[in-house]
Amino acid sequence: MIKIFSMSLIIMFISMIVMSLASIMSKKSFYDREKNSPFECGFDPKCSARVPFSLHFFLIAIIFLIFDVEIALLLPIFIIMKFSNVTMWLFTTILFIMILLIGLYHEWNQGALEWTN
Protein backbone atom coordinates (compact mmCIF):
# COMPACT_ATOMS: atom_id res chain seq x y z
CA MET A 1 0.00 0.00 0.00
CA ILE A 2 2.86 2.34 0.86
CA LYS A 3 4.55 1.58 -2.47
CA ILE A 4 1.46 2.53 -4.45
CA PHE A 5 1.01 5.72 -2.45
CA SER A 6 4.66 6.73 -2.83
CA MET A 7 4.65 5.96 -6.56
CA SER A 8 1.51 8.03 -7.10
CA LEU A 9 3.08 10.94 -5.19
CA ILE A 10 6.23 10.71 -7.30
CA ILE A 11 4.22 10.59 -10.53
CA MET A 12 2.11 13.58 -9.48
CA PHE A 13 5.22 15.52 -8.46
CA ILE A 14 6.97 14.83 -11.78
CA SER A 15 3.87 15.72 -13.81
CA MET A 16 3.42 18.99 -11.88
CA ILE A 17 7.06 19.89 -12.53
CA VAL A 18 6.70 19.15 -16.26
CA MET A 19 3.45 21.18 -16.51
CA SER A 20 4.92 24.15 -14.68
CA LEU A 21 8.08 24.09 -16.82
CA ALA A 22 5.98 23.94 -19.99
CA SER A 23 3.87 26.85 -18.78
CA ILE A 24 6.92 28.96 -17.94
CA MET A 25 8.78 28.19 -21.17
CA SER A 26 5.77 28.77 -23.43
CA LYS A 27 5.11 32.34 -22.29
CA LYS A 28 5.86 34.86 -25.01
CA SER A 29 6.99 38.27 -23.94
CA PHE A 30 7.37 39.59 -27.49
CA TYR A 31 4.11 40.76 -29.08
CA ASP A 32 4.22 41.88 -32.68
CA ARG A 33 1.31 43.85 -34.14
CA GLU A 34 1.65 42.12 -37.50
CA LYS A 35 1.61 38.64 -35.98
CA ASN A 36 -1.41 39.38 -33.81
CA SER A 37 -3.50 40.87 -36.64
CA PRO A 38 -5.52 38.73 -39.07
CA PHE A 39 -3.68 37.88 -42.27
CA GLU A 40 -5.28 39.15 -45.46
CA CYS A 41 -2.88 38.70 -48.41
CA GLY A 42 -0.20 40.75 -46.67
CA PHE A 43 -2.40 43.85 -46.29
CA ASP A 44 -4.10 45.29 -43.26
CA PRO A 45 -7.73 44.18 -43.21
CA LYS A 46 -10.22 46.82 -44.32
CA CYS A 47 -13.00 45.68 -42.01
CA SER A 48 -13.47 43.50 -38.98
CA ALA A 49 -12.81 39.79 -39.38
CA ARG A 50 -15.75 39.10 -37.07
CA VAL A 51 -18.88 39.36 -39.17
CA PRO A 52 -22.05 39.50 -37.06
CA PHE A 53 -23.98 36.25 -37.30
CA SER A 54 -27.68 36.35 -38.11
CA LEU A 55 -29.60 34.89 -35.18
CA HIS A 56 -32.67 34.46 -37.37
CA PHE A 57 -30.71 32.27 -39.81
CA PHE A 58 -29.47 30.19 -36.86
CA LEU A 59 -33.03 29.67 -35.58
CA ILE A 60 -34.25 28.58 -39.00
CA ALA A 61 -31.33 26.13 -39.24
CA ILE A 62 -32.23 24.66 -35.83
CA ILE A 63 -35.89 24.34 -36.83
CA PHE A 64 -34.79 22.59 -40.04
CA LEU A 65 -32.71 20.12 -38.02
CA ILE A 66 -35.60 19.41 -35.67
CA PHE A 67 -38.00 18.74 -38.55
CA ASP A 68 -35.35 16.64 -40.29
CA VAL A 69 -35.09 14.40 -37.23
CA GLU A 70 -38.87 14.19 -37.09
CA ILE A 71 -38.96 12.99 -40.70
CA ALA A 72 -36.41 10.33 -39.79
CA LEU A 73 -38.73 9.25 -36.97
CA LEU A 74 -41.75 9.14 -39.30
CA LEU A 75 -40.16 6.84 -41.88
CA PRO A 76 -40.22 3.60 -39.84
CA ILE A 77 -43.90 4.03 -38.93
CA PHE A 78 -45.08 2.24 -42.06
CA ILE A 79 -42.66 -0.66 -41.53
CA ILE A 80 -43.89 -1.10 -37.95
CA MET A 81 -47.52 -1.20 -39.13
CA LYS A 82 -47.13 -4.83 -40.27
CA PHE A 83 -45.92 -6.05 -36.88
CA SER A 84 -48.13 -4.13 -34.44
CA ASN A 85 -51.74 -3.82 -33.39
CA VAL A 86 -53.56 -1.59 -35.89
CA THR A 87 -55.49 0.44 -33.31
CA MET A 88 -52.42 1.05 -31.16
CA TRP A 89 -50.37 1.90 -34.25
CA LEU A 90 -53.05 4.33 -35.46
CA PHE A 91 -53.32 6.00 -32.04
CA THR A 92 -49.54 6.38 -31.73
CA THR A 93 -49.14 7.68 -35.28
CA ILE A 94 -51.95 10.23 -34.94
CA LEU A 95 -50.58 11.39 -31.57
CA PHE A 96 -47.06 11.80 -32.98
CA ILE A 97 -48.26 13.68 -36.07
CA MET A 98 -50.50 15.90 -33.93
CA ILE A 99 -47.53 16.83 -31.71
CA LEU A 100 -45.54 17.69 -34.84
CA LEU A 101 -48.37 19.78 -36.27
CA ILE A 102 -48.86 21.64 -32.98
CA GLY A 103 -45.14 22.41 -32.91
CA LEU A 104 -45.26 23.62 -36.51
CA TYR A 105 -48.28 25.81 -35.77
CA HIS A 106 -46.54 27.27 -32.73
CA GLU A 107 -43.42 28.11 -34.74
CA TRP A 108 -45.54 29.62 -37.50
CA ASN A 109 -47.63 31.61 -35.02
CA GLN A 110 -44.51 32.98 -33.29
CA GLY A 111 -43.13 34.15 -36.65
CA ALA A 112 -40.03 31.96 -36.55
CA LEU A 113 -40.63 30.74 -40.09
CA GLU A 114 -40.71 34.24 -41.57
CA TRP A 115 -37.42 34.91 -43.36
CA THR A 116 -37.74 38.70 -43.40
CA ASN A 117 -39.47 40.96 -40.93
pLDDT tens, 65-92? Answer: 888 888 888 888 888 888 888 899 899 9
Distance CA 4, CA 8 (A): 6
Q: Considering the entire predicted model, what is its pTM?
A: 0.48
CB crowding 88-97: b at 16 or more within 10 Å, else e: ebeeeeeeee
pLDDT the model gives residue 7: 92
> CA angle, corner 97, sides to 93 and 102, nearest 5?
150
